[in-house]
Amino acid sequence: MLKVLIVDDEPFIREGLKCMVSWEGYGMEIKGLMSNGEEALQFIQKQMVDLIITDIKMPQMDGLRLMEKCKEYNYDILYIILSGYTDFEFVKKAAHLGIENYLVKPIDEAELNQTLQQVAEKLNQKFFRSKMIQEGADILRENLTFRWMSGNISAHELEERRSYLRFTPSPNNLVAIVKIRDRESGFLSEGKERAKMELAQQIRAYILTSDYAIPLVENSSTVNLIFPNADVRRNIVRKTLEHIGDMISADKHFSYLIAVGDIEEDSQMVYRSYNQAKFTLDNTVYHTLDQILNYQTVKESIGKYPQREYEKLLRFNDKVEWIDEKEIYQIVDDILTGFELTAGIKIETIQAFATIIISTIYNNIRTMKSVPEQEIQMLEQRIQEAYHIYCIEELSQWTKGMILCGLEASRQREKQYSDIIVKVQAYLQRNYNQDISIKTVADTFGMNSSYLGRLFREEAGSFLTDYLNILRLEKAKQLLVETMLPIRKIAEIAGYHNTNYFYTIFKRYIGVSPSEFRKNGVEIPDLFTSD
């Protein structure tokens, strides 16, 4: 609500204004009724307001002096002046200071309402403009933080843009990934998903208050934390993570898993700790209860598995194309039935391998397919079933069935695009080489850009900008292989009018530079996959 202060030395004027208008209808509320400028100034110094409606002539401090003092203090306030017919010279001075309108007493109700409507619109525009600027700054800050954490920013660029960050990159960083998990099976309700996001935001707020770490909310289930100077703050890191675990466990619907990487001395190497935390999360048995696990513990545990089977397990990486299901199932059989050749192997180890296989594939489905997060989470809650199967053949069949469920969920989702998303995708496929953005696409289809971005993400499983980049890069890859056009020209044909930006995007998505791709004849699967 916009806060309003009424200042007039005549009590009936103050009370009359309060009762004359339906303030809530303008999104406003009266915060105080003052008899002179001095009282008003004392009030404002304790509680800021958005609008002051003030008489010009008052004892002790008049309206003009009140405005001048507020200007001296740089208070961002709008003013409506009340005057008599003989106060025109005062009104001219007030107009010089900046007013929205002046109303001659006795006040005309229609004119007052019209003025308040204009002021409300102006204040709301200012509020939303300020909010958009702040949100834009937050997005930029979080993007820089994530790029730093994931190793996708150079030392020079990080130093150049350090002023945008809430922190100064320090040595000896440790990354922890907090995963909020569901205690119950079944699909997540919208309310439950919202509760998880609120919990993730509570964790973020706690971290910002404690000032011991840098929080980055990735989604409703995942919060990334960077702990600077972790070598001398080990006890603080442990207590902070334990407190976060307690925060999550306090809600009966959720449990948690916190994966912790090693401390990296060089601030530019923080991505290694992040990758270690991801590895820990991806290779943790899903039947475990609430816990905090570090990279070295999981690494040593995996190191005890038979090396031959573990090498086969590595074939399930993010480069696998899920077109040939027979190949996937063959790898499953090779791994699980291969244990029969290992003397003294425990069934618990084989069960653990089955859970790792499924979790690895589900993570890849998340990355490469348009399956909603809640459907994968529902399937993940069944992974603990592996620990009730004691026959290797049955375990192999169950594992392949779980994989099939994940792939089928993705296929079904891909058939469920709404008409508008189908049209948007077709539009992008026709116009990817044009200078377009999510705003221009939204305007083309008469939609709000934020809503379109959220809908596209929910249905297509990726951000619209990622989808557009992939379309462009597929065209660029084709031209690099099939033509000898200069890279600058290829970038332009693909829709990138800034060659340096094209190099950056190409390297980020493809893993090598355009020139390396062309020179070495690198064969990389299509960024889009189909069943």
**How open is the CA angle 332-337-341, to the nearest 5 degrees?**
140
| Residue 190: pLDDT band with limits 50, 70, 90 | low
> What is the CA angle 530-481-153, rounded to 5?
75
pLDDT in tens, 63-101: 888 999 998 888 888 999 888 766 666 666 777 777 888
Task: Determine the average pLDDT of the residues in 412-423.
Answer: 66
SS3 state at 7:
strand
Q: What pLDDT is stored for residue 404 in this prediction?
A: 84
Of the ranges 131-140, 289-298, 397-406, the best mean pLDDT one: 397-406
- What confidence tens digit (pLDDT) does each residue in 369-415 have? 555 566 777 787 788 888 888 787 888 889 888 888 887 777 665 55
What pLDDT does 238 receive? 92
User: How much is the pTM?
Assistant: 0.45
Q: Which helix (H) or strand (E) holds 223?
A: strand 222-227
Strands 78-83 and 174-182: unpaired
Q: What is the mean pLDDT of the chain?
A: 80
Q: What is the pLDDT of residues 475-511, one digit of tens each?
A: 898 888 878 888 989 999 999 888 888 888 888 888 8
Tokens of 318: 């993010």
Q: What is the pLDDT of residue 255?
A: 86
Domains in the chain, start-ordered, CATH in brackets? Answer: 2-128 (3.40.50.2300), 167-302 (3.30.70.270), 305-414 (no CATH), 419-520 (1.10.10.60)
Q: What is the mean pLDDT of residues 509-515?
A: 84
Per-residue model confidence as pLDDT tens digits over 248-277: 989 888 888 899 999 999 888 899 999 899
Mean pLDDT to the nearest integer, 18-39: 89
Which long-range contacts does 339-342 make (Cβ < 8 Å, 24+ apart)? 339/306, 339/309, 339/392, 340/392, 342/306, 342/309
In this prediction, residue 125 has a pLDDT band, given cuts at 50, 70 and 90, of confident
Q: Which of 132-146, 198-212, 469-483 has the lowest mean pLDDT?
A: 132-146
Check the CA dihedral 198-203-206-208 and report its sign. negative
Q: What is the pLDDT of residue 530?
A: 37
More confident residue, 456 or 192: 456
For residues 275 and 234, give the distance between their C-alpha atoms in angstroms, rounded to a whole number.
Answer: 20
Q: Flag whether pLDDT at 6 surpasses 50.
A: yes
Q: Return the pLDDT at 413.
A: 55
> Residue 199 above 80 pLDDT?
yes
